[in-house]
Chains A and B, each alone.
Chain A
């Protein structure tokens, strides 16, 4: 029997020989990701240490000055408070509405397709379209909301919803919740397909009522879906921008400013791109930490 000497190859060469096809497949995506995600991220980190105004070819290094300024920036804290309201209500409300809706349609009642389409429709609309439509709903001159309130004798409740600093944030948030309910609804509808009907029947035989079955049998089996929906809504809440930008521009009197809209104003209106970069990194950090903490807490709770 003839034997052939195998050429000696380094571990790196062996690794390359084995995985080069894989690298070749990954390379285009990696290149795009690097160009459009990794590079801009590190560029933002760098800009956060400069006083760049967005146009000047010279970017002067200012160290931590932008980050020191954050602490004394009242508008940032105002925007952060608004973001917290947005994140809490913008996460809880879609789940609180979307989950019961999905449960109601779980048994595929008559009109299932119609309801599913109707609930999901806002999710396929552009946020700008949603913002414009809701601006019409709230319009004090021809808006359907005030007209409806007037029609049922609630004239004293009618107001310029987007112009009243006390309610403007909640008015924009309502549009966001309307848009997000469809997304959460579809997630839960898919999740419900994995819920054991045997367990539900067993609970029914044990005398559990509807609410008890929903709370103690259905919801626990949807824990993973709740996790995903919550994490996505949390992240989306911290980066919310488009609805506010189109409907109020952050006004009136900064009453709807979120960190993202404030960052935009700083970068493009106030010409403080360096400070805006620092703001955007803070926003990223808060969003990341919140999401990780939430997921860890959920995992701990489940274990």
Chain B
């Protein structure tokens, strides 16, 4: 009699489960919404707009979207494991390019998007340079969402008040630094703790020195060298000449990115060399100032003065998602780069997209519009953009940049030594890591 009790209990539990599950129990319920888990890094003021954009798609497509916001550092530490364990997100917004996603592509944790791109005709909408930046090997592994422009912000209001002219050549820049310091200002709000900020300074000077075509050949085809005299000049210009001219604080290695931003926002510094992602914060924090943006002045012997640019954030699709989820994710990605949504990204989230976007009536600020104009000019072939180096370089090269430029700034390493170390790191990484699109 006692032995029958477990059998009866099990039967009762099954009946209760069936009742609880409702009339659909025992057969797939076709009307169930597809569930998508999205990890993104949008931690700033754009987060509400991102929520709204996701939600609009979810409601119109019978999809449930769960959004988890994770900052870049944490994502790099957890994404591999999460995807490999099968408990990770279906879609990830992360840095584009082989430096950060090459590992995931090699391990088969993310899927190529070439078929989706062909199905939805993304190549007709998205700038070729952005497609190239999101390509690893010969396959498109991500949908580029934002594009960055790296240059120099200028506090035009304070420059005018101090009677200082905006430098157009590197020699003028060094002279300007002395004059600005005499007027009681920090010329450049450069801050280099923990060291990634130097990536962008080097991107500016190295693109200036060798020009975008040679940089493209170096990054994508391994034609050229990082230890050439031009690269040595690129390193010396920013990290030695400008330091010696008093262009930035002696303590730059001790200042965090937020410290540098704070100096510029407060009007203590007249210029700030960083990326277009800061425009929203500048608009919010510098309402009393007119701020403009310009490409870094060309050092002596340079090929020219160029903006540096690269894909910022991009969407990746997990290989572990079910076919239904991958199908829904494909539709979501197409929605993300549709003309209507693109307008919302620009107008509500303040993103720069590698797409043609009608900004009529969006009420963007003059600074924001100036960045859009440069990108549009580049898309029309009127402006040649340089390349943001770190997103296209292997991790070892970025490590050599991070620690090496700090050492040069501290006077512990010469530009020649740093250039040689970069070349060595490039050689090692180019052979072992996933390389950018050829």
Contact = CB atoms under 8 A, between A and B. Distances in A.
A2 B192 CA distance: 92
Contact of B395 (A160, A165, A252, A271): A271
A251 B399 contact: no
A249 interface: yes
A143 to B, nearest CB: 9
A56 B252 contact: no
Interface stretch (A6-14, A62-70, A134-142, A212-220): A134-142
Contacts of A271: 103, 395
B76 A268 contact: yes
Given A160-B254, A164-B254, A251-B193, A56 B106 contact: yes
B195 A249 contact: yes
Q: Interface SS of chain B: helix, strand, loop or mixed? A: helix
Nearest to A166: B410
Interface stretch (B336-344, B356-364, B400-408): B400-408
A111 B192 CA distance: 44
Contacts of A268: 76-77
A245 to B, nearest CB: 10
Contact of B252 (A163, A165, A253, A270): A163
Interface in A237-273: 248-254, 265, 268-271
Nearest to A264: B77
Contacts of A249: 193-195
A163 B413 CA distance: 15
B427 interface: no
Contacts of A116: none
Contacts of A165: 253, 406-407, 410, 412
Q: Which of A56, A159, A271 has most chain B Cβ within 10 Å? A: A271
A162 interface: yes
A139 B260 CA distance: 12
Contacts of B252: 160, 163
Contacts of B93: none
Contacts of A248: 193-194
A8 to B, nearest CB: 31
A71 interface: no
A251 B250 CA distance: 16
A140 B189 CA distance: 13
A163 B249 CA distance: 11
A236 interface: no
A139 B254 CA distance: 7
Nearest to A269: B395
A119 B80 CA distance: 42
Nearest to B194: A249
A139 B103 CA distance: 36
Given A251-B194, A251-B195, A160 B255 contact: yes
A140 B103 CA distance: 38
A53 B254 CA distance: 32
B107 A57 contact: yes
Contact of B251 (A163, A250, A251): A163
Contacts of B263: 141
8 contacts: A135-B256, A160-B253, A160-B254, A248-B194, A251-B194, A252-B254, A252-B406, A253-B410
Interface of B: 76-77, 80-81, 83-84, 103-104, 106-109, 192-195, 249-256, 259, 262-263, 395-396, 398-399, 402-404, 406-407, 409-410, 412-413
Given A249-B193, A253-B413, 6 more contacts: A139-B255, A141-B259, A165-B412, A252-B406, A268-B76, A270-B396
